[in-house]
Structure 1
């Protein structure tokens, strides 16, 4: 099918792949790439080589004008022809040139890559939240294919795959000699087909093999619920094109159930996504102030994003933001802005540390480039590239276990003949919340919100007694 060339958003997504490639772009800068000097395609004979050498002096004099290292271009042509002539199997010119372009980009940084038409279409689908696969973001860490984050409610998440899991083999094929794109291609497939992954987790001695069934995934990036009356939970799993709108709707729905005394914004294992959606989310909590700015070599890459009072939904709700090592890119933009603007308390563990921006640039042949063009900075001027964001309160993943005899304590209510509370018709319920047992970090976030509300209570003597 023909490939439309949409204007894709400014990418703050990691050099990742899922069974998909993570997005993030804002505008298209140009639609073609001119490489002057690569005119040599045919196989040269000896006289042609001699003629080329004789012309090297003239070419060298032109080098200062066009900026090309002529000797390196000649070496490239020589390598190209030797592969054509001597490689064990025939290789066509198109394949060699595509591979050369892929290598040109892959050696720049982990996030720049050449996108063929299928990968380009896959990127578009990802920004819209619809794709087929198992639902994991992957990248290369220390030259090892590594899970960046599983996507919520996907086969990978349900199978218990965690950030940091190393993928040793895909359907029996070792990954140590695969490029990121090759690994992604192996993991792609139609819904209903099976994928076998061999994984090794830090601290484990033996790898484990999981068989996952690919699914057609239509992921909603935002979910919400009440943890307790007055305390909301907002989960953003990734930043898609409609995440800002979905966040506004979720906050409105929570506040319609009663005044919010606190909100947990969960960005754990959020691999990033569309930058404009990230700024829209921050705008829900800030009435003014800088959100993020970018700096690149081109003037068009120097951008600033600020909050506006008109777009704010919950400007005064106490906020705790959960982050971890799977929080990357656009998720770090949100966390960094809220931290620098003192709008919320960050809790969890150090974030991933991707502070670069990618542009998706369409090419005339229907393919595209994902090219790193800028770095982004938090409002205070921090670049979190390769460092990440440090939470205000460090809380690691854990499991809460309640002692067997913890509930066997003598209280006034256990004494025979005890006085009843003022109005026995009013049922008083204070059950222990199970949240901390299921999710220790979330339980601690809820406890912190409650503590913040205790501190905000009026001073003694200002609260009238109830009758």
Structure 2
């Protein structure tokens, strides 16, 4: 009976997955439906034969899930199957809310073991005294000392106002602690911080697009305008991966006239094509506006930045955005699952689609090409300024993005920096306000010494490339003669912790400062720390302070003057 239910579940699920993309008119529709039916029969028979005759027992759910993920993964990264047990994650993306303790957790070891990485300000974990670095040993009576991240996350989430008891091991302490926590509805604010820069410039940092983001941006802007008398505004969308499309439209509507077209969507099913226009009266249509973006600004971030650019309402500053011009929607599946499927492409007011990767025409190895700039087309903003499709949104003021050395990457990803800061925080009960806090040279040297003691290693691409070069050179006989040049290069590229630390001293101190400040002042403090020396923000302040430059940037391009013909 159990096997029969499983087989029915497989057939029903795959039917919906395949039929969802099979709506074609006329003969093409009939042919495609035959292919769907034929392939479902083949897959059904395959699963039956495998389950009955494979030499070892087969986990049907895991096996079919691998097949589903591989099938959808061949389309694009955004089309995915979400079973019932993973629906909480989808809810968090769309609403920013869930029932739990309010913290980021991370699996510490490959074989399990989860620690608190970051408790959220004002949420149960922080209020109960949990700190970054605490290892979770048990949740109520369940031992999770070797559990995976998914398992611990599942146990921590639950109905608001229910109590759980965590047994944790705090670094530096011998005995475990027991901490009682009452779950609550955790609301993750999308406006991490807003405030005033240079006395009259409003600043709003938005980290994501949920169904409440527009309300948060509106409230922040109204407060800045009413209580701080701002004369211009910066909206920071850097590292904002997007989210709910309607929220992006609502944010644009705060700054452009009612009835303005923001985006249109076009897909296979023409009846579902839509045009989104602003439906409410704006808060302000004339205040100078700058939007900050980078390579991690995607989806809804690109709708906001691209639309405001196309409507000549804001100057964009930073780096070219990610280039995601695809729209997803969810479709119901059997057993309370969902299919998140790419249904259409979106086009911003100039008519351009900023999708950068072409998933339709993959290479033979399955890799995907970006659309080269030479194949993009020119479109025009409302005032006639030229803009291009096919490669994200390009800022009017494009800033060079700093490359992150591998040492910095591994310091951030590894536990050397994390553990050092955890130990540092235990020795410092308080720190100065964010505006005054600095990492001393003594702290920097202490981290370097700690990294040496922990045998910190960082795998550099140059070292890998050099090893391959040596192997090829040796194979082809180039090392038989004078190899002093190669040896000098090897010496230069061989990791040297003292040298590489000192080479990146300033950046390492910034990384340390951000992590330390976050432990005391949470995400808001970390953001303020990172804004201290921010070239993109400084450029935005410079542009907004220069009314002539701002106006000229958003003005219609001057027509070339005709040279009088010689007589």
Q: Deviations over 1:236-281 (max 9, x none)?
A: 1101111111111111100112443211110000010111111000
CA distance 1:123–1:436, change in 2 (3 Å): closer
8 Å CA contact 2:345, 2:353 repeated in 1: yes
Q: Secondary structure at the match of 2:263?
A: strand
Residue from 283, 300, 303 that aligns with 1:333: 303
Residue from 6, 10, 15 that aligns with 1:35: 15
Partner of 2:58: 91
8 Å CA contact 1:296, 1:374 repeated in 2: yes
Greater share of helix: 2
Cα distance in 2 for residues equivalent to 1:317 and 1:71: 60
Cα distance in 2 for residues equivalent to 1:371 and 1:152: 33
Question: Which is bigger in relative contact order (C-alpha 8 A, separation at least 6)?
Answer: 1
How large is the RMSD of aligned CA atoms in angstroms?
Answer: 3.7
Cα distance in 1 for residues equivalent to 2:336 and 2:37: 29
CA distance 1:297–1:89, change in 2 (3 Å): same
Partner of 1:227: 197
Q: Deviations over 1:27-52 (max 9, x none)?
A: xxxxx86829x9xxxxxxxxxxxxxx
Residue from 397, 400, 417 that aligns with 1:396: 400
Partner of 2:268: 297
Matches within 5 A, 1:172-251: 185=150, 188=153, 218-222=187-191, 223-251=193-221
Cα distance in 2 for residues equivalent to 1:230 and 1:380: 32
Residue from 279, 287, 310 that aligns with 1:317: 287
Cα distance in 2 for residues equivalent to 1:301 and 1:232: 38
**What is the CA distance between 1:440 and its match in structure 2?**
1.6
8 Å CA contact 2:315, 2:550 repeated in 1: no
Partner of 1:441: 536
CA distance 1:390–1:185, change in 2 (3 Å): farther
**What is the CA distance between 1:153 and its match in structure 2?**
7.3
Corresponding position: 1:108 with 2:75: yes
Cα distance in 1 for residues equivalent to 2:276 and 2:535: 34
Cα distance in 2 for residues equivalent to 1:74 and 1:128: 39
Cα distance in 2 for residues equivalent to 1:450 and 1:363: 53
Partner of 2:226: 256
CA distance 1:277–1:151, change in 2 (3 Å): farther
**What is the CA distance between 1:314 and its match in structure 2?**
2.0
CA distance 1:269–1:152, change in 2 (3 Å): farther
8 Å CA contact 2:309, 2:316 repeated in 1: yes
CA distance 1:348–1:151, change in 2 (3 Å): farther
Q: Which moved more, 1:276-285 or 1:288-297?
A: 288-297
Q: Secondary structure at the match of 1:379?
A: coil
Q: Deviations over 1:360-388 (max 9, x none)?
A: 11224111110110100111111111221
Q: Secondary structure at the match of 1:360?
A: strand
CA distance 1:152–1:249, change in 2 (3 Å): farther
**What is the CA distance between 1:437 and its match in structure 2?**
4.7
**What is the CA distance between 1:133 and its match in structure 2?**
5.8
CA distance 1:105–1:455, change in 2 (3 Å): closer
- Using the size of structure 2 for normalisation, the TM-score is 0.48
8 Å CA contact 2:196, 2:228 repeated in 1: no
- Could you list the runs of 5+ residues in structure 1 that have no partner in the other structure? 1-31, 39-62, 137-149, 155-182, 195-214, 400-433, 457-467
CA distance 1:69–1:360, change in 2 (3 Å): closer
Cα distance in 2 for residues equivalent to 1:370 and 1:454: 44
CA distance 1:353–1:437, change in 2 (3 Å): same
Q: Deviations over 1:164-194 (max 9, x none)?
A: xxxxxxxxxxxxxxxxxxx995895666899
Partner of 2:430: none
CA distance 1:134–1:301, change in 2 (3 Å): farther
- Using the size of structure 1 for normalisation, the TM-score is 0.57
CA distance 1:276–1:193, change in 2 (3 Å): farther
